[in-house]
Structure 1
Amino acid sequence: MNYLAMVSLFWFAQYVYIPYQTTFLTASGASSTFTGMVVGAYGISQLVLRFPIGICADSVGRHKYFIMAGAIASGTASVFRVFWCNGTGFLVANFFSGLASAMWISYMVFYTNHFSAGDQQAATSRIVLFNNFGMLLGFLCSTISYHRIGMAGICMLSICAGLMAFLLSIGIKETDVHPSIHKTGELLLVCNIRRLWLFSFMALIQQGIQLTTAMSFTNQILKELGASDGIVGISSVIYMISSVGFAAFAASGTCSRKGPRFWIPLVFAVVASYCILVPAAGSIPVLLLLQILPGMSTGILFSFATSEAMRDIPADRKSTAMGMYQAVYAVGMTTFPIFTGALATRKGILTGYLLLAGIALLGGIGAVMHYKKEAANHRLGS
């Protein structure tokens, strides 16, 4: 249980400031384009580092030191936000936060390696649950305290949580250490697995839209409608409560019985509906209610995409595969906020959200086609 507590502290440190990041930058005079760059910087570090880190983790056969590095980097990022509390400081800090999240590979692989093949979906959903629970705690703390202690104060909370996660990581027992017998070229063969690429692109769409909308520009829309800082925080809390609830549901037998073939296309359709409805809502209460919908995306879609991508990957190549998977979806986390911000500046936020809705629909169509082809191949094989 200490391990899952560490996971929650890590993600608390990474996300406690998120509900107010976009509105803080806007109030500081940053344009939508620059704000998109700041949000996208978080993904750039992950895009560059995740695949090499996955290869390194497989090569050395251990994860503890990567987990420790991630925890300390999460707190270090907020040191920049405290002492350089402006747009440039946040830009630099988000590169460090991206470095921390790049180590999430080892957090997930170390945990799921303790479960059998049949329990991988439940284990993945469980760690995603505690991931989301840490974010939820962060959002609750920032909502309650932002107007009292300001951005610098909540970033101090981030530093403390990162330090606590680091102290817990020191106590990790890693006895089953097996350095990979494969050379780097052999590890890279995971790049030939088409299934891994497919679900990596689905996660790219999911993560890119989630970071751009529910965690960024939806809050800006609320502010434009006259919402207070407290309402913006409540919006993020509603989203995270929904994410935690749906992640718990994804770990249950009830959800597993329907399986990814049912849930992945359905949730992509829900994400598309969210992107269409948010800019057209025109009402703060309606927007708050709509924040439930992206929780399905984080809790169900991301959990299933991850377990589907990792299905049948050999244990001694799993970190490399996870590194590639996370690097691919980091492309979405990097590019989606940047192009949505640029599009919103030129054409308005409605255009940006409608484009995201179209991308979500394409993801759902891709999932339907994949599972139809898989079912046809299964019938032919039998």
Structure 2
Amino acid sequence: MKKTTKKSYLLLIIVIFFWYAQYVYIPFQTPYLIGIHVSVNMIGIIMGAYGISQFILRFPMGILADIKQRHKIFIVTGCALTALASIVRVFFTDGMGFLVGNIISGFASATWISFMVLFLSFYPKSQRTVATCRIIMANNLGMFLAFLSSTLLFEYGGMVFICVLSVISGVVATGLALGLSYPHKLAKPTPVRLLLTVFSNRKLLFFAFLALIQQGIQMSTTMSFTNQIIKGLGASAFVIGLSSLIYMLSSVCFAKIGSSPLCNKFCKATWITLSFVLLAAYCFFVPMATTFWLILGLQIIPGISTGILFSFLTAEAMQGVSRSVNSTAMGLFQAIYAIGMTLFPIVVGYLSKIYSLGFAYAVLGGIALFASGLYLVSLKTSAVLD
């Protein structure tokens, strides 16, 4: 068991470097693109490109991972792609360079299936929720360290230097991933016809849809256009970075809470419902803020959404899924929520151009309330939760 634990710790370290490489440039991506006169519409497309490549690849990759049972290969490939994506951004610093870079980053994130499935395989089924919260906490810690670096260094080194840090982290992650090993003997490949039965898993599909909404709102607000709002209120680059730091630090803390006995004192239904309501409040209040200091306080809310809500949605979706179809189920789950990561930023960019950013955020708030109501209805009917 101690040997297995050590193997899982190595994977957690790789996860930290992987997501550092993926997100170190994110706090300043939208302000940077606006600064070089990329249109709001195009920025929405650039942000959405990250999701579309995940949507295309994640389900096929999940099937392939279950057939081949070789998660290490996918993890090494994903880490290498994070470095390649930022190499493109270093040499092509315009909107097109970031578009291509985000597509490659999406390919890298598509391999997250193997990170998740391999890590969960180190733990017994009874500890699946705890294990899920742990790996998402490592995910959030990597993003937090990335945001901390960019906050402290962006004004001195600029976007190219930040992307170089991404390349270095991706290379380190790749090197560490080469040393990964499996917790047990590889299982026999599962026939494809059995893998496709995940499409009949109503619980998986339902929680994937809720995750689509949560991830879509996060990608459209905290990861992109909220930074534009903060900059419009006169914030410096340091304050923009600080805003992302507050979000990520709260994500790490709430992911830790999600894996603790303290969180279990309240039922998952309470956390899921409350988190969606708070996310709606965030969408309504951020465009109304008259000072960026208020937004800094509001950044705790998406931290709850990422740290607890997304962890619980993932755990609930995978509950009852047999080990033989784990990767396929995770691939389907991640492919579905990648639709939100793709469409929501594009829609927000379009609505901002036609109406206003405040109107776009209000629409997102309404969608979050819809998700909360839908979940409550499902609890009463037990239509998809059994």
TM-score tier, shorter chain, comes to: over 0.9
1:309 to 1:236, Cα distance in 2 relative to 1, 3 A? same
Preserved CA contact (<8 Å) 1:58 1:180:
no
1:313-357, CA deviations, whole angstroms, 9 ceiling, x for partnerless residues? 000101000000000000000000000011001100011000000
Distance 1:377 1:364 in 2: 15
Secondary structure in 2 matching 1:258:
coil
Distance 1:147 1:340 in 2: 28
Question: Which residue is 2:46 aligned to?
Answer: 38
Residue identity matched to 1:96: I
Q: Which runs of 4+ in 1 moved over 6 A?
A: 375-378
Q: Is the aligned partner of 1:285 residue 2:263?
A: no
1:71-101, CA deviations, whole angstroms, 9 ceiling, x for partnerless residues? 0001110001000011000000000000000
Q: CA deviation at 1:370?
A: 1.7
Question: Which residue is 1:348 aligned to?
Answer: 356
Distance 1:347 1:255 in 2: 40
The farther-off stretch of 108-117 and 294-303 is: 108-117
Q: Is the aligned partner of 1:55 residue 2:63?
A: yes
Question: Which residue is 2:4 aligned to?
Answer: none
Query: Match for 2:175 among 149, 167, 191?
Result: 167
1:372 to 1:274, Cα distance in 2 relative to 1, 3 A? same
Distance 1:179 1:193 in 2: 22
Q: CA deviation at 1:376?
A: 12
Please, which runs of 5 or more residues in structure 1 have no aligned partner? none
Q: CA deviation at 1:116?
A: 1.5
Q: CA deviation at 1:180?
A: 4.5
Preserved CA contact (<8 Å) 1:58 1:179:
no
Query: Match for 2:36 among 19, 28, 49?
Result: 28
Between Structure 1 and Structure 2, how many residues are aligned? 378
Secondary structure in 1 matching 2:184:
coil
Question: Which residue is 2:97 aligned to?
Answer: 89
Question: Which residue is 1:294 aligned to?
Answer: 302
Preserved CA contact (<8 Å) 1:38 1:91:
yes
Preserved CA contact (<8 Å) 1:212 1:336:
yes
Q: CA deviation at 1:6?
A: 0.8
Residue identity matched to 1:319: S
Q: CA deviation at 1:257?
A: 3.1
The aligned runs of 1:323-338 (5 Å cut-off) are 323-338=331-346
Question: Which residue is 2:226 aligned to?
Answer: 218
Residue identity matched to 2:209: F
Distance 1:149 1:309 in 2: 42
Query: Match for 1:112 among 114, 120, 128?
Result: 120
Q: CA deviation at 1:192?
A: 0.6
The aligned runs of 1:81-230 (5 Å cut-off) are 81-174=89-182, 176-230=184-238
1:377 to 1:146, Cα distance in 2 relative to 1, 3 A? closer
Residue identity matched to 1:85: T
Preserved CA contact (<8 Å) 1:270 1:293:
yes
Preserved CA contact (<8 Å) 1:60 1:178:
no
Q: CA deviation at 1:377?
A: 9.0
Query: Match for 1:313 among 315, 321, 328?
Result: 321
Distance 2:271 2:191 in 1: 37
Q: CA deviation at 1:375?
A: 9.8
Residue identity matched to 1:211: M
Preserved CA contact (<8 Å) 1:62 1:177:
no
Q: CA deviation at 1:182?
A: 3.0
Question: Which residue is 2:17 aligned to?
Answer: 9
Question: Which residue is 1:234 aligned to?
Answer: 242
Question: Which residue is 1:248 aligned to?
Answer: 256
Query: Match for 1:265 among 265, 273, 277?
Result: 273
Preserved CA contact (<8 Å) 1:139 1:236:
yes
Q: Is the aligned partner of 1:18 residue 2:18?
A: no
Q: CA deviation at 1:177?
A: 4.2
Secondary structure in 2 matching 1:213:
helix
Distance 2:179 2:197 in 1: 34
Q: CA deviation at 1:372?
A: 2.1
1:15 to 1:377, Cα distance in 2 relative to 1, 3 A? closer
Distance 1:226 1:377 in 2: 46
Residue identity matched to 1:108: M
Q: CA deviation at 1:194?
A: 0.5
Secondary structure in 2 matching 1:173:
coil
1:278 to 1:173, Cα distance in 2 relative to 1, 3 A? same
* Amino-acid identity (%): 46
Residue identity matched to 1:125: C
Distance 1:296 1:259 in 2: 15
1:179-207, CA deviations, whole angstroms, 9 ceiling, x for partnerless residues? 55432222111011100010001110110
Secondary structure in 1 matching 2:265:
helix
The farther-off stretch of 31-40 and 256-265 is: 256-265
Secondary structure in 1 matching 2:52:
helix
